[in-house]
């Protein structure tokens, strides 16, 4: 069906919460890995009566094989084809379509564990928990115990200075990984949803949302058994069709915007971004390959862009809407 905005989608379900959990997958320019992910996730959903799967597809044209896959799975999921290409807009769109009390966001290149859904849900037995971050491993990775970390790393974790999502024990955390995170739907509306001023690679969008969740009085829980493997597919997604220079510029622009949104001082933001630029420009690969001048220019472009837009306003896509 064509909506007023020109988006094509399957019909939305009744405007009431009919499910315990809605899984939202936002995808852009992914083919084989998307099909593999959807087959894994639909296998989890189709054996339950308390879950639904919503796919927000920002791809202009899929391969024939992918189209066949989407057609095969049409009875198990809601497919929404949209005309924009924005991760934060797609996440907010998925929330609007959802009929679940809990919204679980997964990336389009993951391998979820069989008990992923239940392990997210069990955390919400605590009414103070507004969000959950699941264990996220890279291919071949494994969870770490406290004994596998240095004393300094443990101190940084306990103080909240750092977060990790490959640990084998539950804990309170200050944010959740975008590829494996869930929230109470009503709380997403209460804090305004994802900030659509983040664009492109949208670095920092999930951390900024979590900052608002904590500021509103919610807790975010790390669930070690809500596990998946994030394949970090090199093609497609937010990185697709963008030169490395533009990716670097977006990283810095979004990064500076994130720090302003969470209330960091200008001096702290400059210090953090200067450190980030040093890492990007003067790493061993850049120096050996002679690419550091290109990266220097990209960093300058990103910082200049951020300074021009330093006071840009937030765009909270769900703030004025009702649950």
Q: Is residue 163 in some structural domain? A: yes
Query: What is the per-residue pLDDT across 113-171, written as a single tens digit (0 to 9) for each?
Result: 999 999 999 999 999 999 999 999 999 999 999 999 999 999 999 888 889 999 999 99
Q: Is residue 316 in some structural domain? A: no
Q: Are residues 157 and 264 in the same domain?
A: no
The pLDDT of 30-56, averaged and rounded, is 97
Cβ neighbors of 195 (< 8 A, separation 6 or more) are 88, 205, 208, 209, 261, 314, 315, 316, 317
Q: Is residue 320 in some structural domain? A: no
Q: Is residue 192 in some structural domain? A: yes
Using the 3D structure, point to which of 181, 212, 237 is the last residue of a domain: 237
For residue 309, what pLDDT is reported? Answer: 84
Query: What is the per-residue pLDDT across 86-124, written as a single tens digit (0 to 9) for each?
Result: 999 999 999 999 999 999 999 999 999 999 999 999 999
Q: How are beta strands 8-9 and 171-173 bridged, if at all? A: unpaired
Give the pLDDT band of residue 323 (cuts 50, 70, 90). Answer: low
Q: Are residues 174 and 83 in the same domain?
A: yes
Percentage of residues of the chain with pLDDT beyond 70: 90
Q: Are residues 194 and 276 in the same domain?
A: no
Sign (positive/negative) of CA torsion 204, 207, 213, 216? negative
Q: Are residues 75 and 206 in the same domain?
A: yes
Q: Which domain holds residue 288?
A: 242-308
For residue 12, what pLDDT is reported? Answer: 47
Q: Which helix (H) or strand (E) holds 24?
A: strand 19-27
For residue 240, what pLDDT is reported? Answer: 52
End-to-end Cα, the chain, rounded Å: 22
Q: Is residue 1 in some structural domain? A: no
State how far the Cα of 319 lies from the Cα of 9, in Å rounded to an integer. 23
Q: Is residue 229 in some structural domain? A: yes
Q: What is the CATH number of the domain that holds 152?
A: 3.90.550.10
- Tally Cβ neighbours within 10 Å of residue 287: 11
Q: Are residues 227 and 267 in the same domain?
A: no
Q: How are beta strands 129-137 and 219-230 bridged, if at all? A: parallel
Query: What is the per-residue pLDDT across 3-41, written as a single tens digit (0 to 9) for each?
Result: 333 344 444 444 456 689 999 999 999 999 999 999 999
CA-to-CA separations, 28 to 34, 50, 233, in angstroms, rounded: 9, 27, 12
Identify the DSSP state of 309: T
The candidate with the shortest Cα–Cα distance to 315, out of 197, 236, 222, 221, is: 197
For residue 256, what pLDDT is reported? Answer: 93
CA-to-CA separations, 50 to 2, 72, 102, 254, in angstroms, rounded: 28, 21, 11, 36
Q: Are residues 28 and 175 in the same domain?
A: yes
The candidate with the shortest Cα–Cα distance to 97, out of 199, 11, 170, is: 11
Domains of the chain: total: 2
Q: Are residues 143 and 54 in the same domain?
A: yes
The candidate with the shortest Cα–Cα distance to 165, out of 177, 174, 147, is: 177
State how far the Cα of 176 lies from the Cα of 165, in Å rounded to an integer. 8
Q: Is residue 143 in some structural domain? A: yes
Using the 3D structure, point to which of 210, 237, 264 is the last residue of a domain: 237
Q: Are residues 187 and 207 in the same domain?
A: yes
């Amino acid at each position: 069906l064509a909506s007023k905005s020109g988006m094509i989608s399957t019909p939305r379900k009744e405007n009431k919460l009919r499910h315990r959990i809605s899984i939202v997958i936002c995808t852009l320019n992914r083919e084989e890995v998307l099909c593999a992910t959807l087959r894994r996730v639909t296998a989890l959903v189709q054996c339950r009566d308390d879950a639904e799967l919503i796919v927000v597809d920002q791809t202009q044209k899929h391969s024939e094989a992918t189209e066949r896959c989407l057609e095969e799975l049409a009875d198990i999921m809601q497919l929404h084809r949209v005309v924009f290409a924005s991760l934060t807009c797609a996440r907010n769109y998925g929330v609007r379509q959802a009929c679940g009390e809990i919204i679980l966001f997964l990336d389009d290149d993951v391998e979820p564990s069989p008990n992923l859904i239940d392990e997210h849900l069990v955390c919400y037995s605590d009414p103070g928990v507004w969000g959950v971050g699941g264990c996220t491993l890279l291919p071949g990775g494994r969870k770490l115990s406290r004994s596998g970390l240095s004393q300094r790393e443990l101190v940084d974790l306990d103080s909240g200075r750092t977060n990790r999502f490959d640990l084998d024990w539950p804990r309170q955390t200050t944010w959740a990984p975008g590829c494996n995170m869930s929230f109470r739907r009503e709380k997403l509306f209460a804090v305004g949803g994802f900030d659509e001023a983040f664009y492109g690679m949208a670095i920092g969008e999930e951390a900024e949302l979590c900052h608002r969740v904590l500021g509103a009085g919610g807790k975010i829980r790390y669930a070690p058994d809500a596990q998946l493997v994030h394949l970090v597919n090199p093609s497609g997604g937010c990185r697709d069709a963008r030169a490395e220079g533009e990716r670097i510029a977006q990283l810095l622009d979004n990064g500076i915007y994130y720090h302003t949104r969470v209330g960091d001082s200008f001096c702290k933001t400059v210090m953090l971004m200067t450190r980030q630029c040093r890492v990007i420009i003067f790493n061993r690969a850049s120096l050996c390959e002679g690419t550091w001048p290109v990266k220097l220019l990209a960093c300058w472009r990103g910082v200049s862009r951020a300074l021009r837009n330093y006071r840009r306003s937030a765009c909270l896509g769900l703030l004025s809407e009702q649950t």
